[in-house]
Every structure is written in structure tokens, then in C-alpha cells.
Amino acid sequence: MANNGHLESFGFAHRRLMHIFLYASMTVDLGSDALKKLGGKPRWGITPSDPMGTTMRRIDTPLGGNRVVTRSCASFLPGMVPGAPSLERAKRVHLRKFADRFPALSNVPMEFSWAGHLCLTLNRVAVMRELDRGLYSGCVQNGLGTVRGTLTGIGAAELACGIESGITRHFTAEPEPTRLAPPPLSTIGANIYLRFKEWATSKE
């Protein structure tokens, strides 16, 4: 199994996984007037030092049009389904952050908005082990999908083949994910914390 947070959908690590959704919006394809006001290079990206800050990227025609992508906002959703209100709120925040950074383009609308699913654990461990006889897991990437997803996938494959390595020893030595507080305390508490962090990094 290499399905990250959906490990819980199959009955494993119940109430031990934090399902976090991050949100992004993309402008319409910018016309020549907007591009002139925007200026600068046709492709760039800025990542904040704090994960709850705002990421912005500019793409050009080969990547899907001349657009700016804004990534900000987060919510804890144990049901793993972001609803329309969450997406609408994030889109409003993205419009404001875009206008703050590019006041000459404050009337540019967002054409697309979406959410991406992360899975974290309180004690920052993965779930890479034999879950049942012949069933191996390479899940829970803690927001580092490229690195952790690759390593846990390799580890799960090695376990399935009966191979011991530094990867298998590392992940099988990790403890179980810490159990979360029962709902609704966990949901309320996590979302209050995320909103506070969003406010604290609002200018970044």
C-alpha cells in the first residue's frame, strides 16, 4: 500500500493521522496589458521560509499559459474531503494576497482553485512496515512526498522481497503514530492552530 493518508480509509492507523489540505488558485491566462504591468521574467517561483506563508509561482505558455499561482491556507479535515466553503474561502484569501503583491493587477480573477491532501503524524513518523501477512505499507509522507514517498516505497518493496537495508531498519524502528485527541477536539484545535499560523504569516 502506497496511498499516503488513505491508509486510514483501509482501516489502519485509525485516529492517528492528520489529514491536512493546502489550497492554491491560478489566475486566468494573462493578456498582453497584464503581462506588461507584471513585468519580470516569464517563469519564477517564491517559497516562504514558514510553511504557512504564501507560495507564488509564475508560469508561461509551455506550462499552461501566462499565469500566476498562489498557494496559501490550510485546514484539518479528518473526512479527507474539502468542501465548497473551504475552497471559496481559500480563493478569497488568494485574491487578496495576489492583489497585495500586484496592486496593478488587482482586478485579475482566479480561474482555477483546488486543494491538495497531505498526511502528517504528531510525532512525524511514517508508516512503513508489514501491516498484515503479506501486506506492506509505504505511507504517511509528512509533507515530504518526493523524498519520504520514495524512501518508504523502496522500504516497503524491500520488506516484501525479504531484503533488509538501512531504509527498512530506519522506518521499522519508528514508533506507531501518536494517537490524536478525539473529535471534535482534534478538529477544532487543529483548525484554530492553522488559522493562527495563517494569520501570523499573513505578510510573508
Q: What is the CATH number of the domain that holds 112?
A: 3.30.70
Is residue 111 located within the same domain as residue 193? Answer: no
Q: Say yes or no: 91 and 158 in one domain.
A: no
**Residue 149, burial from CB neighbour count under 10 angstroms (0-12, 13-18, 19+):** middle
CB 125 within 8 Å of CB 175: yes
Per-residue pLDDT of the chain (204 residues; tens, 9 = 90+): 999 999 999 999 999 999 999 999 999 999 999 999 999 999 999 999 888 899 999 999 999 999 999 999 999 999 999 999 999 999 999 999 999 999 999 999 999 999 999 999 999 999 999 999 999 999 999 988 889 999 999 999 999 999 999 999 999 999 999 999 999 999 999 999 999 999 999 888
Q: Phi/psi of residue 48, each to 5°? A: -75, 160
What is residue 200's predicted lDDT score, i.e. its pLDDT? 93
Residue type, 170: H
**Do 140 and 94 lie in a common domain?**
no
**In terms of domains, do 29 and 112 share one?**
yes
Residue at a domain's end among 118, 147, 164: 118
57 within domain boundaries: yes
81 and 24, same structural domain? yes
The whole domain housing 139 covers: 1-17+121-199
- For residues 107 and 185, state if they share a domain: no
In this prediction the pTM is: 0.90
Q: Look at residues 61, 83, 118 and tell me which one is the last residue of a structural domain.
A: 118
Cα(37)–Cα(78) distance, rounded to whole angstroms? Answer: 42
Specify the number of domains making up the chain.
2
* Exposure of 11 in the CB half-sphere (CA atoms within 13 A): 3
Do both 131 and 177 map to the same domain?
A: yes
Indicate whether 43 belongs to any domain: yes
Residue 146: the pLDDT is: 86
Q: Quote the pLDDT of residue 51.
A: 83
Q: Does residue 204 belong to any structural domain of this protein?
A: no
The reply to whether 150 and 104 lie within a common domain is no
151, 62: one domain: no
Element (H, E) at 23: strand 18-27
The answer to whether residues 111 and 35 belong to one domain is yes
Indicate the DSSP class of residue 199. Answer: H
Quick check: is 163 in a domain? yes
